[in-house]
Chains A and B, each alone.
Chain A
Amino acid sequence: MSTTVATQSAQLRRQAGAVVEKVVRQFGNRVVLDNLDLTVADEELVVLLGPSGCGKSTLLRLLAGLDRPDGGRVEVPAKRAIVFQADRLLPWQRVLRNVTLGLHGPDADQRALDVLCEVGLSGREKAWPKELSGGEAQRVSLARALVSEPELVLLDEPFAALDAITRLRMHDLVRALRSKHHAAMLLVTHDVDEAIALADRVVVMSNGRIGTSHLVELSAADREASLAREELRSALLEDLGLANQH
């Protein structure tokens, strides 16, 4: 494990999944993002960690193109998808039609069925969203994001509303999906354990900027339990200003 300080060098810039340069975003007088820089490399999974209300979701919305920055520059691939905290499924469409919402072409249904199978929901394509459990609904929204083969997937606290056991299953699912779908991913969370479980790199937000950045080069087993994991965990907690409480 290596811990480096915020300013990421230009070496990651080649064919980057997303580039954020000196981005400013403010609501009234409150500056939420203050000259923030962030680069997500191709096929890299970056976890953006920070306390509630620090501007994580604001940054994600800029990357998704849902909002425009007040200053600076955001560059993202045109093929991108977002998974929201709530599943945001259309209650009046069955699962399959929810997944094919943005798809066109004769093979749309087949592609949707394939992705539903990947997320472990084969056979559930005819269900109504109201009939799904929270974990199943979130898997559908994951399928909806992946079905368009995006180059960048943005995940806004996607598992925050799930129970602990379902969340662990979803972590396994995300790892499995990464071997099939080669996309850059930016996952926003406030859960340190989730960050360690999934990240190639963890960046911690503070004061509207990326405070610190930690490369995570641990095996799957070491992410579960190891000395390196505990060191990373306490480093992240320290970055979040929680060092003394744990």
Chain B
Amino acid sequence: MTDVSLKAPAVAPAAETPRATSGREVFLPRDARRQTGFSTFRERLRWPLGIYTTPIAVLIVWEVLARAGVLAKTYAPAPTSIVKSAVDLWQQGVLGPDLAISLQRAGIGLAIGLTVGIVTGVLGGLLRSGEYLFNGIVQVLNTIPLLAVLPLMIVWFGIDELTKVLLISFGAGVPMYLNLFAAIRGVDQRLIEMARTTGAGTWRLVTRVLVPGALPGFLVGLRFSLAYSVLGLVAAETVNADEGLGFLITQGQTYLQTNQVFVGLVIYSLLGLLADQFVRALERVLLRWRPSYEAA
């Protein structure tokens, strides 16, 4: 090894200034820390249930309170008794068809809403003329609360399936358009410029730059769409329905069958969870390139 040193220092040392020795920190490998009985115990107890910790704690407390008679049966029946009534309803042949009709409504509504939202969103995002055609009207529609449209829809389309499906597609389409439009417009201008200089044509630009670049925003839109479609489903089914989950809940309310109300709520929340997990799975596959933040 050669050791070259220059005698003249680059910075002349300042005249002796007594430096106050402030606190110092020492970093060592984690396992070098001394293991006490307490810390091992704590490590093992540390969040064995992960994100399910709080929900499960709530369920347990709820069950205990219900069994102890603190919570009245008509007020909040025990979780186990809700599960039991779900099984009963299923065996009576009520829950199955109700769930099927609800899912059918949500499916058709989502299909229409997402199709319209994606087509207009892509056109609005890619083309100036598309922006002028769609952006104003969707911005206006976005300011109208979903539930406020329901009375008008009933006047226009009656209390049949059409109203329910249209309400769901309205709920799904608007957020999809808004997010997709913003996502396409938000693709880094410098990347678009770069793609143009490589000689990539419009097709390459769209498929390799704009579409993948807009994907994160699209998935955000999809998440909102799914959530709002469930909202639309509830609103549509609670008013003037004679079958479906909303009907199940309204019926439960009428006859003070709190069990039945909770069964409906649980199923709605399971639908929401499933939708969320679906989008998360899509994100894991489609956004592999994006290293995301993981909390310690």
Please tell me which one of the listed residues A65, A88, A91 contacts residue B194 in the complex, with CB atoms under 8 A apart: A88
Check A90–B291 contact: CB distance below 8 A.
Answer: no
Tell whether A64 is near chain B: CB-to-CB under 8 Å.
yes
How many residues of B sit at the interface, in one of the four size bands?
A: 20 to 34
Taking CB atoms, residues of chain B closer than 8 Å to A90 are: 191, 195, 208-209, 212-213
Least CB distance, B206 to chain A, in whole angstroms = 13
Given A90-B208, A101-B208, A66 and B197 contact (CB-CB distance below 8 Å): yes
Contacts of B209 in A (CB 8 A): 90
Question: Is B202 in contact with chain A by the CB < 8 A criterion?
Answer: no
Asked if B193 is at the interface of the complex by the 8 Å CB criterion, the answer is yes
Instruction: Report how far A92 CA is from B198 CA in the complex, Å.
Output: 17
Query: How many residues of chain A are within 8 Å of chain B by beta carbon?
Result: 22
Say if the beta carbon of B284 comes within 8 Å of chain A: no
A101 touches B289 (CB 8 A): no
Question: CB-CB < 8 A to B195: which residues of A?
Answer: 90, 101-102
The listed residue (B204, B213, B290) touching A102 by CB distance below 8 A is B204
The smallest C-beta distance from B97 to any residue of chain A, in angstroms, reads: 44
Q: How many Cβ-Cβ contacts under 8 Å join chain A to chain B?
A: 54
A92 lies within 8 A of B212 (CB): yes
Question: Per DSSP, are chain B's interface residues mostly helix, strand or loop, or mixed?
Answer: helix
Q: How far is the CA of A66 from the CA of B196 in the complex (A)?
A: 9
Type the 1/0 row for B185-222, where 1 means its CB is closer than 8 Å to any CB of A. 00000110111111110001000110011010000000
* Chain A residue, CB-CB nearest to B205: A101
The answer to whether A148 touches B290, judged by C-beta atoms less than 8 angstroms apart, is no
Instruction: Using A92-B212, A101-B208 as known contacts, say yes or no to A130 and B291 having CB atoms under 8 A apart.
Output: yes
Q: Establish whether residues B208 and A84, one from each chain, have CB atoms under 8 Å apart when the complex forms.
A: no
User: Which chain A residue has the least Cβ–Cβ distance from B291?
Assistant: A130
Complex Cα distance A82/B190, Å? 12
The smallest beta-carbon distance between B187 and chain A, in angstroms, is 10
Given the interface contacts A88-B191, A92-B213, A92-B215, does A81 sit within 8 Å of B197 by beta carbon? yes
CB-CB nearest in chain B for A84: B194
Q: What's the minimum C-beta distance from B263 to chain A, rounded to whole angstroms?
A: 43
Alpha-carbon separation in the docked complex, A120 to B109 (Å): 53
Give 12 new A-B contacts, CB below 8 A, not counting A88-B190, A90-B212, A92-B215. Answer: A66-B197, A80-B197, A81-B198, A82-B194, A86-B190, A91-B290, A92-B287, A101-B195, A102-B198, A128-B289, A130-B289, A148-B198
